[in-house]
Amino acid sequence: MTQLRWLAALGAVLLALVVQVSLFPHLAWHGIVPNLCLLVVVAAALTVEAPFALVLGFTAGLVLDLAPPADHVAGRWALALTIAAFLAARVRQDVRPSALDVVGTVAAASFAATSIFALSGILLDDPAMSVAGLLEVVLVALVWDVLLTPFVLPPLMKLFSRLGPQWATT
């Protein structure tokens, strides 16, 4: 069962990445696209146990770091998505998260992940970008992620909760 869940999660991440780099640039606003990989990670963090979500966050980040158009220092998205997964997993799970909880978690995770990525760029001096430009990127990315939440999160959460033994069953 766990293996099946891993396969489903990895498939979702890869699909999200391909859609993110191949489809969404046509719809992008100033080149900013929704971070679908992040949405997959948040969906996992909200439904299944935290260790799985954390490792999935790391893996998804690593794929984002290494997949073709990427040319930044590898490991930056891995760091950002691991921390985003950790934050999202802190949301209470003893009750089913309401729609508002989900949207709020996505917004917080998106803000945290994009900011951490941007800050790591400033620290590493990877590409020099103005603070105003970074702020624009963070905010527009957040709006994009929240906009796509109703379409992406419910099916993914259903998938993950069906495939996994809930952490709460014990």
Partner 1 sequence: MAAWGGHDGRERRWKGLDRLESRNRAPRSLLVALVLASITLITLDVSGGGDSPLEPARRVVGEALGPAESAAATAVRPFTAVPDWFRSKGDLAEEVRELEASNAELRGQVELAGFDRNRLEQYDGLTAAAADLGSALVPARVVAMGPRQSQSLTVTIDAGSAAGLGPDMTVVNDDGLVGRVLRVTRSTATVLLVIDPDSTVGGRVGSSMEIGFVTGSGSLDQETGLDLRLVDDASVPARGDTVVTWGSTTGPYAPGVPIGTITDVYSSLREASQRAVVKPFVDFSALDVVGVMVPSGSESDRAVIEADGSLR
Site mask for partner 1 (CB under 8 A), range 82-111, x = bound: xx--x--xx-xxxx----------------
Is residue 147 within the footprint of partner 1 (CB under 8 A)? no
Span between the terminal Cα atoms of the chain, in Å: 16
Is residue 20 within the footprint of partner 1 (CB under 8 A)? yes
**Least distance in Å: CB of 154 to partner 1?**
22
Q: How remote is the C-alpha of 118 from its chain's centroid?
A: 15
Q: How far apart are CA 2 and CA 164, in angstroms?
A: 7
Return the structure tokens found at 89.
């997993």
SS3 52: helix
**CA dihedral for 76, 79, 80, 81, sign (positive or negative):** positive
Is residue 70 within the footprint of partner 1 (CB under 8 A)? yes
- Binding residues (CB under 8 A) for partner 1: these are 14, 17-26, 28, 30-33, 35, 49-51, 54-55, 57-58, 61-79, 82-83, 86, 89-90, 92-95, 114, 117-118, 120-121, 124, 126-129, 133, 137, 141, 167-168
